[in-house]
Amino acid sequence: MENKPTSVWTSNRFWRRSATWITGVAAVLLILLTFDSMGQMQMGTAEDIQNKVTKRIPSPVVINYKIDYVLDPYRGHEVPIIGGKTVDSATGKVSSKFEEKEKFFGRDDWSEEEARALIHKGKLTIQAKNCMDCHTLLGNGAYYAPDLTKAWLDPAWSSEGPLQAMTGANSKEEAMATFLQNPDKYPTHERMMPNLGITPEEAKAVVAYLKFMSAIDTNGFPRNFGKIKGAVDARK
């Protein structure tokens, strides 16, 4: 067989085969990654927390636990820590202990059903009041007001923070709920939040949702939240 001078680059069949291959592989990859994402998004259960299994989206019963935001040098970003942290001395990897509880509106024994119902009501309120018209939640929404993904961990709402002091409440959840019911009364920012007619029950549910959302592992998103002074490793 003699070697005829040929150009593969001008051959239609070469491009057709390449295009078929790339499209096929990409389609299969997208399907596999979709199933992977579905696994990642699976909400954890109360048993997971009892068995100290970390899930990206924890069970609603996390509202019974203390939530911290800690830099994980192993993963290279901040991670939410539920109920106290343990540090692996070899890798520096931090993980949740699921032990230390924290009262949420006076209780730390919210059952899975109660917590789920409360968070569901919070979600419906957030949708009904169109929070996303101004705020972002988990990256979705508008850029007029602060991102709420880690709002629960904002040091401004802690016992030493100015926002809790402003409302005169004794706990973070009560301060947030008080603010949400009458946001127009408190001078927070030039862009003041309007009064949306949120009832005390709705405010409680929204705060539960915010606490739950702060415990979702978002791979360190939003990136600039960790730069707020006192937001990360609040308890040294």
Partner 1 sequence: MFEPCTDIVCSFWSMLNQGPMTLTIILHTLIVLPMIWIYFDEKKKLQSGE
Nearer to partner 1, 29 or 128 (CB): 29
**C-beta of 9: minimal distance to partner 1 in Å?**
9
**C-beta of 114: minimal distance to partner 1 in Å?**
26
The DSSP output letter for 101 is B
Nearer to partner 1, 17 or 223 (CB): 17
| Whether the Cβ atoms of residue 165 and residue 174 lie closer than 8 Å to each other | no
Those residues whose C-beta lies under 8 Å from the C-beta of residue 128, and which sit 6 or more positions away, are none
Nearer to partner 1, 22 or 142 (CB): 22
| Whether the Cβ atoms of residue 225 and residue 150 lie closer than 8 Å to each other | yes
Q: What is the DSSP string of 130-147?
A: TGGGT-EETTEE-SSS-B
**C-beta of 12: minimal distance to partner 1 in Å?**
10
Q: How far apart are CA 121 and CA 53, in angstroms?
A: 26
Nearer to partner 1, 22 or 128 (CB): 22
Peptide bond into 183 cis (omega under 30): no
**C-beta of 117: minimal distance to partner 1 in Å?**
26
Alpha carbon separation from 85 to 15, 157, 217, 219 (Å, rounded): 55, 21, 15, 17
Nearer to partner 1, 174 or 217 (CB): 217
**C-beta of 231: minimal distance to partner 1 in Å?**
20
**C-beta of 82: minimal distance to partner 1 in Å?**
12
| Chain residues in the site for partner 1 (CB under 8 A) | 1, 3-4, 6, 8, 11, 13-14, 17-18, 21-22, 25-26, 29, 32-33, 36, 39-40, 54-56, 74-75, 79, 217
3-state secondary structure of 57: strand
Nearer to partner 1, 45 or 171 (CB): 45
